[in-house]
């Protein structure tokens, strides 16, 4: 049976007195049975679910202020049930996380961030920006890199926004929190030279050179290259389809899943890369099954982070480029597209970024700015003018 909803009402009552009426219906205040017992003033209201809430006060002004604050919160949509507001951040996250449709990698990242906060036992109603600032400072003091701090902050911020949607948190305590500044992308990014990439491919040998080539000349991520099947390479159209990626779950199990959001794509590739891939298939994986892994590992699985990492470290050492990461080959690919004049949308699609803003945030320093364009235009004018001036000087017989 559904409980009938109460009408919304609010008021402050004096528990120590009651009103009586004489024979002529004239009201008179007299002491009640509660006179002198407990708190004199009682404020009450009905919440959004029709439940009556009551709280006692010693002074009428305090009762009225509390009730006014509740009424204002109900009107503005920031009202939080006091019982729900007593829920801690940690307990809310435990319950909320069970309803999320996360892939294992996202679940690990969310658990790492949310279980590492310094305010896990703080009630959501007591959570203040100072709690979040203290946590951010603790991460910086560890020290964690600014990029890591930003990622964990964003994950915890998602939990806080969920608490606001569920009306267990009134305001966002993470709003306007200052995070440690990240270094400029051009200072942190390492872009291999063409000579270094050539040395890596030579030292990789017939087993691994195609993998290095896919990262350097198609911009594939490690998991994307490892999850390629022979049928994903279209030799006639000179294209490679990225349709899946390899991930390790809990550091052990190999999982095949869809690429990162927005990363499914078809990439036009150079003939030289197709030749590398063709030689790899012919030498190591002959056969007609298009669903076989291009880089098969143990059992039914392809290569994964560990098997690729071992081969990459060996190749990198042999090539004498110990400072390079495999992901730097993706930067090499992006920088080549930009240097060739590709626009941001073209680069975004080739790299499988979720948006053009991600591409710009990562590689904006590689695109020529207004000064570069002005300089090139002026150089062209100078060369044209200098050539005409030289012709004139020769005509006049001057040196």
CB 334 within 8 A of CB 366: yes
At 165, list the tokens: 């949607």
Q: Note whether 243 and 262 are same-domain residues.
A: yes
- For residues 251 and 162, state if they share a domain: no
Does 256 share its domain with 324? yes
Distance separating alpha carbons of residues 77 and 251, to the nearest angstrom: 44
Any domain includes 126: yes
Distance CA 124, CA 91 (A): 10
How many folded domains does the chain comprise?
3
Write down which residue in 152, 182, 212 finishes a domain.
Answer: 182
Last residue of a domain, one of 46, 79, 112: 79
Residues 259 and 175 in one domain: no
Same domain, 235 and 273: yes
Q: Quote the CA–CA distance of 186 and 100 in Å, as a whole number.
A: 36
In a domain, residue 352? The reply is no
Q: Coil, strand or helix: which one is 69?
A: helix
- Determine the Cα–Cα distance for residues 399 and 392; give it in Å rounded to an integer: 11
Domain that holds residue 198: 194-339
Q: Is the Cβ–Cβ distance between 350 and 267 less than 8 Å?
A: yes
User: Is the residue at 2 inside a domain?
Assistant: no
Per-residue pLDDT 10s for the chain (399 aa) are: 444 444 456 777 888 888 888 787 888 888 888 888 888 888 777 776 667 777 888 888 888 877 777 676 665 555 555 565 467 899 889 989 999 988 777 888 999 999 999 999 988 888 899 999 999 999 999 999 898 999 999 999 999 999 888 888 878 899 889 999 876 544 468 899 999 999 999 999 889 999 999 999 999 999 999 999 999 999 999 999 999 998 876 556 778 888 877 689 999 999 999 999 999 988 876 667 888 899 988 878 899 989 999 999 999 999 999 889 999 999 999 999 999 989 999 999 999 998 898 898 888 888 876 666 677 777 777 777 766 555 554 555 544
How far apart (Å, rounded) are the C-alpha atoms in residues 141 and 232? 46
Same domain, 101 and 55: no
313: CATH: 1.10.443.10
Does 383 reside within a domain?
no
Q: Based on the fold, state whether residues 257 and 324 are members of the same structural domain.
A: yes
Return all residues near 19 (Cβ < 8 A) that are at least 6 apart: 27, 28, 29, 30
Q: At residue 91, what are phi and psi to the nearest 5 degrees?
A: -70, -35
Residue 385 is assigned to a structural domain of this protein: no
CATH number of the domain to which 148 belongs: 1.10.150.130
The 10s digit of each residue's pLDDT in 325-366 is 999 999 999 999 999 989 999 999 999 998 898 898 888 888
The domain boundary, picked from 312, 339, 366, lies at 339
On whether both 95 and 73 belong to a single domain, the answer is no
Asked if residue 362 belongs to a domain, the reply is no
Residues 256 and 313 in one domain: yes
Give the model confidence (pLDDT) of 256-293 as tens digits.
888 877 689 999 999 999 999 999 988 876 667 888 89
**Statement to judge: residues 170 and 65 lie in one domain:** no
Same domain, 228 and 173: no
Beta strands in the chain (DSSP E): 10-14, 17-21, 27-31, 41-46, 52-57, 233-234, 239-242, 245-249, 253-257, 265-268
């Amino acid at each position: 049976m559904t409980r009938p909803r109460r009408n919304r009402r609010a008021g402050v009552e004096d528990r120590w007195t009651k009103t009586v009426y004489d024979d002529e219906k004239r009201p008179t205040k007299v002491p009640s049975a509660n006179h002198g017992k407990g708190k004199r003033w009682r404020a009450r209201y009905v919440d959004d679910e029709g439940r009556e809430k009551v709280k006692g006060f010693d002074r009428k002004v305090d009762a009225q202020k509390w009730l006014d604050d509740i009424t204002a919160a109900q009107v503005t949509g920031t009202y939080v049930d006091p019982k729900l507001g007593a829920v801690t951040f940690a307990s809310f996250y435990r319950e909320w996380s069970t309803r999320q449709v996360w892939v294992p990698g996202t679940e690990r990242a969310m658990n790492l961030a949310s279980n590492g906060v310094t305010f896990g036992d703080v009630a959501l109603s007591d959570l203040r920006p100072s709690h979040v600032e203290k946590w951010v400072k603790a991460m910086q003091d560890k020290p964690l890199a600014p990029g890591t701090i930003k990622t964990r902050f964003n994950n915890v911020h998602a939990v806080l926004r969920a608490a606001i949607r569920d009306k267990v948190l009134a305001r966002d305590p993470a709003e306007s929190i200052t995070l440690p500044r990240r270094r400029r992308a051009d200072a942190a990014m390492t872009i291999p030279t063409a000579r270094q990439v050539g040395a890596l491919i030579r030292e990789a040998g017939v087993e691994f050179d195609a993998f290095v080539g896919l990262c350097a000349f198609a911009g594939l991520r490690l998991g994307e290259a490892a999850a390629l099947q022979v049928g994903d390479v279209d030799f006639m159209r000179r294209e490679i389809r990225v349709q899946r990626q390899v991930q390790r779950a809990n550091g052990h199990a190999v999982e095949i899943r869809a690429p990162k959001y927005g990363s499914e794509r078809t990439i036009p590739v150079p003939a030289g890369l197709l030749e590398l891939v063709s030689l790899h298939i012919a030498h190591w994986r002959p056969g007609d099954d298009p669903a076989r892994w291009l880089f098969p590992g143990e059992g039914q699985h392809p290569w994964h982070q560990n098997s690729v990492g071992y081969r990459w470290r060996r190749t990198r050492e042999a090539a004498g480029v110990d400072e390079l990461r495999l992901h730097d080959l993706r930067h090499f690919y992006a920088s080549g597209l930009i240097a060739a004049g590709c626009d941001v949308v073209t680069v975004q699609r080739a790299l499988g970024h979720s948006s053009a803003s991600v591409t710009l945030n990562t590689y904006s320093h590689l695109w020529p700015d207004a000064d570069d364009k002005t300089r090139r235009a002026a150089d062209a004018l100078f060369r044209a003018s200098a050539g005409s001036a030289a012709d004139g000087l020769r005509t006049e017989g001057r040196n």
